[in-house]
Structure 1
Amino acid sequence: MVENKSLTNTAVCIALLAEHHKVNILSTCLTLLSAGTIVLASLFEPLGVMALILLISILVLGVAQLFIAIRVGFDHQLLLSVSHTSDNFNDLLATEKEFMLLDRILVALKLVKNEPSNRVLNDRLLGCIQLFKQQSILCGLQVVLIVSVPLLV
């Protein structure tokens, strides 16, 4: 019973993370729209201070979202490769050892600050989902701000 739950959790997480591309595309479009608006406004008619602050905030949120999207994409690809080799719970246990090795490699390459303490697979999946939520929240904030800009022009 435990093995089915772990495999199901992994499959659900992979399916959720697969959607990160859609969030990234929307965020990229909003970021480019914001940058284009700033450029065009500077050429033709200056924007108000509040509108300019909102547009710059959209740019900053877009850059932050991009960094998280890169990490979410990395996690998604990693989970995909693991899922293709993990057909049962024993494979998942072996995979957790591979994740611990990966953690040490990431620390050695200074891509993470310190070595996590033997996280189990479900903790890793929750971490992946948390990153996806952060990415989605940043994109959602961009949407709210871009809708607010016309109210200030």
Structure 2
Amino acid sequence: MFDLLHVGHVRLLQQARRLGDCLVVCVNSDASVRRRKGPDRPVTTAGDRVRVLRALADVDAAVVFDDDTPAPLLERLRPDIWVKGADYAGTPLPEAGVVRSYGGEVVLLPLLEGRSTTRLLSSARSPSNGSPAGGAR
């Protein structure tokens, strides 16, 4: 889920791109992010997230989906390889069955330690983040 793009996401996208001929990023809609992460999310709109992703050299396309999982979108796209972060290891992925049903492969890539949107937001909101009165710089 790319709510607020950070260096951990960029590294994951770079690794994913090396696995195939092109990289299509599935982006949760704003409503989907709210259902999964709560009323204070997303931080940036789906349109802005897509624009940022499309500006990255490793990303060939970005597609927004509104479902709680990308399974219906993956049924249409049918990627040879479906990449997720290793934070999903040991967690049943609802979309994995769809990908495997047509012979696709699910790959979990390692995350960049200490990088997460939740941690980034928490740090930005903390009064001890180094900026005056905890405000934005």
**Higher relative contact order (CA closer than 8 Å, sequence separation 6+):** 1
Alignment TM-score > 0.5, same fold: no
Task: Please tell me whether Structure 1 or Structure 2 has the larger radius of gyration of its CA atoms.
Answer: 1
TM-score normalized with structure 1 length = 0.24
Q: Whose strand proportion is higher, 1 or 2?
A: 2
Q: Whose helix proportion is higher, 1 or 2?
A: 1
TM-score normalized with structure 2 length = 0.25
